[in-house]
Amino acid sequence: MTSSGMRSRRIQTLLGVGFLLSPLSALAEEPYNVLLIIADDLNSRIAPLGDPQAITPHLTRLAQRSVTYRNCLSQYPFCAPSRGSFLTGLHPWNLGIHAAGGNQANGENIVPGRMRMSQFFQSQGHWTGSYGKVEHYERAERWDELIPRALAIDGILQSVQDFSAHKGISGNTNFLIYENGQPENFMDGLTATNALTAMEKCLARDQRFFVAAGFYMPHTPWIVPASIADLHDPANFVLPESPPGSYDNAYWPPYAYTYGKASDTRPYLTDDELRSLFHAYYSAVTLMDYNLGRLLDFADSHNLWENTVIAFISDNGFSLMEHQHLYSKRNYSRESIHVPMMIHHPGMTSEGRFCDRQVGLVDLMPTLIELAGIEPYPRHLDGRSLAPLQADPDREWETPALSCLTYRDSSKPRFRIGQVGPWKLVEGPFSASLRRVMNHRDDPFEHFGTFPNGITPQALSSLETAVAEIPFIDDVFYVGKPDLGQTDRDGDGLPDETEIDLLPLGFHPFEESSTELRRLVSSTLEVDPAPDGITLTFPDFRVNPAEFRAWHTYPLSLERSSDLSTWENVPENFQLNSLGALQWLERPDPVSGKSFYRLRITP
């Protein structure tokens, strides 16, 4: 209760859709275009990241115009959760998605009210187009034009090789070579052609664009023209090393393998067969690179470098029988989790530089938004803009990059992974008491991993705190597909989407938020005079200032009443005081002798 001329006093709050604040960052006079290029299952075996066996001249060319991130993690090394994460800016464990297929949870089920990356750019005046494999679950309504990937081949089938009869191999592992086929007539060639056509049309009508080109290579099956395959000589491939003592079941437990368990009695690949496997993968990478070159040619001829943010990523990596028989993805090896990322933006002074700071694909969305010069995204994002690293790739960057793994039919995290600098911490399976540390400075290919393995106390403390965000509990991930908008993993009555927006306030979508709700019910209210009215502060309801964004919309509002029956929103937006407590500025009606206030969360 308040009255004019009051002194500071404490008042009990009543528990009760909030809206909040305007963007603080300055907008560009003319926002930039965005060209997002996505590879599928591309690991670090490319020339710009130091692989002499790779034939990727156009990735090298792009690296010369970009900042290349050499320590980028996929937040879940599998297509569906990874893409769901970086196209929403949310971690997979907050989304609750970790599998693929029509009967599995996806972003539509968990956050139906959120704008995806394409939708937000569309809201800012960009024409949007999706070509090839961009979203795992494609939705035409999120784009002005969507042309999905389509199988396309050219030429006469020359040879087929199938690796599936060997230990650790799974899925469609055919390697098909077509004689006289033209690279632009294969699947990724059609993707590039459609993206080029879209950008040409946008430029002709002076329309700002957000175009995403999703290449399918080097995803299996590996289908390439002979002109690409012949660039590689299988006999020249250097096979993965296994130094003495490097293979240790305590380090690479059976749980870490997708299919390479002891029960798999199929024979190992011979060295010649493994070189053929490398031939297939590297050829697919070169085919992807060829069609990337066509996009870069367009950027050169139309001077997109001056008005377009150009980003290249892969959704996850891919293991090629490293550590004896680690294959494909969904494991915590560097080959599976670490991915390439290159970003160019107009006016940059850091072209051609490398950044070794730990970052994640989840950082892509806020980065592209900021570099494009449009309004900040109005809701909570787990990712952090890399714009400061674009300006100075060597600057300090203390935020750890995180990743996670689980079983397809399990809701509990199996492994949680954090990286800071050269140090990578892996905890699991299913327990923080089982830990291993990799030192990428001394052991870049992760041949050895023990605990503590020389990690500094500061790095260990940072990683332990960060990975604890992914608890080893049930119901972190959805098993199956929940009904649209009916997602409440922790059963506390607040939908997942609401609690994701309230993460900076201590709520969690998969951990019951009774403590936070009790704070809402019982928090005291401090009322103090201010030059323009009064300040209303909730000292027991504090927010981490590092995670708070003044321009975000939070589903939290302060309401007032004079009679406890009719309520209205306090029109002023809330801020944080010096201690991180929620605070409103109120201009009370001088006629009213008293006022009641309540905080309210509305799904």
Higher per-residue confidence, 369 vs 251: 369
Q: Greatest CA span in the chain, whole angstroms?
A: 90
Q: Which domain holds residue 95?
A: 33-238+253-387
**408 within some domain:** no
* 275 and 377 fall within a common domain: yes
Closest CA to 502 of 47, 20, 9, 7: 20
Kindly state the tokens that stand for 208: 């700002």
**460 within some domain:** no
**465 within some domain:** no
* 152 and 300 fall within a common domain: yes
CA distances for 80 relative to 93, 148, 408, 603, angstroms: 13, 15, 12, 26
Q: What is the pTM of this model?
A: 0.93
* Residue 209 near residue 199 (C-beta atoms within 8 A): yes
* 195 and 328 fall within a common domain: yes
Higher per-residue confidence, 220 vs 573: 220
Least confident of 223-227, 238-242, 352-356: 238-242
| Predicted pLDDT of residue 595 | 84
**178 within some domain:** yes
**243 within some domain:** no
* 558 and 579 fall within a common domain: yes
pLDDT in tens, 53-65: 999 999 999 999 9
Least confident of 42-46, 377-381, 497-501, 529-533: 529-533
* 68 and 13 fall within a common domain: no
* 13 and 57 fall within a common domain: no
* 52 and 13 fall within a common domain: no
pLDDT in tens, 534-570: 889 988 888 888 888 888 888 988 888 888 999 988 8
Higher per-residue confidence, 451 vs 541: 451
348: CB partners within 8 A, 6+ apart: 67, 390, 391
Kindly state the tokens that stand for 358: 């730990």
| Domain-terminating residue out of 387, 405, 424 | 387
Does residue 17 surpass a pLDDT of 50? no
pLDDT in tens, 378-401: 999 999 999 999 999 999 999 999
Q: Beta strand 174-179 with 156-162: parallel, antiparallel or unpaired?
A: antiparallel
CA distances for 56 relative to 30, 71, 207, angstroms: 34, 19, 32
**417 within some domain:** no
| Domain-terminating residue out of 367, 387, 407 | 387
Q: How confident is the model at residue 341 (pLDDT cuts 50, 70, 90)?
A: very high
Least confident of 238-252, 279-293, 498-512: 238-252
| Predicted pLDDT of residue 21 | 30
Least confident of 8-17, 226-235, 349-358: 8-17
* 177 and 111 fall within a common domain: yes
Q: How confident is the model at residue 306 (pLDDT cuts 50, 70, 90)?
A: very high
Q: How confident is the model at residue 592 (pLDDT cuts 50, 70, 90)?
A: low
* 313 and 381 fall within a common domain: yes
The SS3 assignment for 254 reads: helix
The CATH number covering residue 371 comes to 3.40.720.10
* Residue 507 near residue 554 (C-beta atoms within 8 A): no
* 14 and 85 fall within a common domain: no
Kindly state the tokens that stand for 338: 């670490």
Q: How confident is the model at residue 594 (pLDDT cuts 50, 70, 90)?
A: confident
* Residue 128 near residue 122 (C-beta atoms within 8 A): yes
Supply the mean pLDDT for the chain. 89
| Domain-terminating residue out of 342, 359, 387 | 387
Number of domains forming the structure of the chain = 2
DSSP structural state of residue 450:
B
**323 within some domain:** yes
For the residues of 136-164, what is the DSSP string, one character each? SS--GGGSSEEEE------SEEEEEEE-T
* 90 and 119 fall within a common domain: yes
CA 128 to CA 517: how far, in whole Å?
A: 40
**119 within some domain:** yes
Closest CA to 573 of 9, 19, 135: 19
* 205 and 293 fall within a common domain: yes
Q: Tokens 């959704």 belong to which residue?
A: 315
Mean pLDDT, residues 438-444 taken together: 95
597: CB partners within 8 A, 6+ apart: 11, 13, 14, 525, 536, 558, 559, 560, 561, 570
